Amino acid sequence: AQRVTQPEKLLSVFKGAPVELKCNYSYSGSPELFWYVQYSRQRLQLLLRHISRESIKGFTADLNKGETSFHLKKPFAQEEDSAMYYCALSPGGGATNKLIFGTGTLLAVQP
Amino acid sequence: DVKVTQSSRYLVKRTGEKVFLECVQDMDHENMFWYRQDPGLGLRLIYFSYDVKMKEKGDIPEGYSVSREKKERFSLILESASTNQTSMYLCASSSSLVRPQHFGDGTRLSIL
């Protein structure tokens, strides 16, 4: 079955501390993985995708096929990073790119 | 910039009512999606559409239907609203397999 697991509902860190938001997936093929972010009172928006291999707002995520993980990392958290983060998987192929979302992790960066 | 517009930010309806949630996108995207977002459950796909008049069930289609008569508009219909359909509903669109989805602001629906 296709599944995305985000084990932490809430992650609380201090400003300047490293952040790692965990994401594990279950899929037999070659998925495309995404991180979406939703800031308070804003719409859900794409943060980054694994095929881009880019760093957005200091965040990076590496796809580890052996561990079926796509953890989101940032070396130094900022207060403005506080938001809900969703990991998502797109199975690829077929007629459309429907997404399977994890349950989300709320990141709270304390001053 | 892609614009996905949901007609209402907040909506309050009564049990048994027929409810329409509207979504419009302005970028000629083929794919459109309806999700509901609930605390602790994340986003769950209700229905999606990959072309005009084409629709596919998502993970939780029960109690819902959809309509895509025009490419830019994707409507979610609650045939007979129930209290367990109180939720935040998100619409999204994308242009193709390799492009990410763009989301609307959401509609917070309360069924009393």
Determine the distance in angstroms separating the CA of B102 from the nearest CA of chain A, rounded to an integer.
Answer: 7
Token pair recorded at residue A102:
């994890």
Beta pairing, strands A10-14 & A105-110: parallel
pLDDT tens digit sequence for A64-87: 989 999 999 999 999 999 999 999
Return the pLDDT at A96: 55
Asked whether B21 and B107 are in contact (CB, 8 A), the reply is yes
Predicted confidence (pLDDT) at residue B98 exceeds the cutoff of 70: no
Q: Rounded mean pLDDT of A27-50?
A: 89
Chain A within 8 Å of B25 (Cβ-Cβ)?
no
Beta pairing, strands B10-13 & B107-111: parallel
Nearest CB among A43, A99, A103 relative to B106 is that of: A43
Spell out the domain ranges in chain A: 3-110
What span, in angstroms and rounded, lies between the C-alpha atoms of A81 and A47?
A: 11
What span, in angstroms and rounded, lies between the C-alpha atoms of B16 and A44?
A: 30
Return the pLDDT at B54: 87
- Going by the DSSP 8-state scheme, the letter that residue B68 receives in this structure is E
Q: Rounded mean pLDDT of B85-94?
A: 95
Predicted confidence (pLDDT) at residue A55 exceeds the cutoff of 90: no
Spell out the domain ranges in chain B: 4-111
pLDDT band per the 50, 70, 90 thresholds, residue B24: very high
Query: Is B35 exposed, middle or buried, given 0-12, 13-18 or 19+ CB atoms closer than 10 A?
Result: buried
Q: Which has more confidence, A69 or A91?
A: A69
* B4-111 CATH fold: Immunoglobulin-like (2.60.40)
pLDDT band per the 50, 70, 90 thresholds, residue A38: very high
The CATH class for the domain spanning A3-110 reads mainly beta
Return the pLDDT at A51: 79
pLDDT band per the 50, 70, 90 thresholds, residue A31: confident
Return the pLDDT at A95: 46
Question: Is B8 strand, coil or helix?
Answer: coil
Token pair recorded at residue A19:
């952040």
Determine the distance in angstroms separating the CA of A42 from the nearest CA of chain B, rounded to an integer.
Answer: 7
Q: How far is CA A70 from the centre of its chain?
A: 7
What average pLDDT is seen over chain A?
Answer: 89
Chain A within 8 Å of B34 (Cβ-Cβ)?
no
- Residues in chain A with CB shorter than 8 Å from the CB of B90 are 44
- Residues in chain B with CB shorter than 8 Å from the CB of A44 are 43, 90, 92, 103, 106
- Residues in chain B with CB shorter than 8 Å from the CB of A94 are 97
The residues near B19 (Cβ < 8 Å, ≥ 6 apart) are: B11, B13, B77, B78, B81, B109, B111
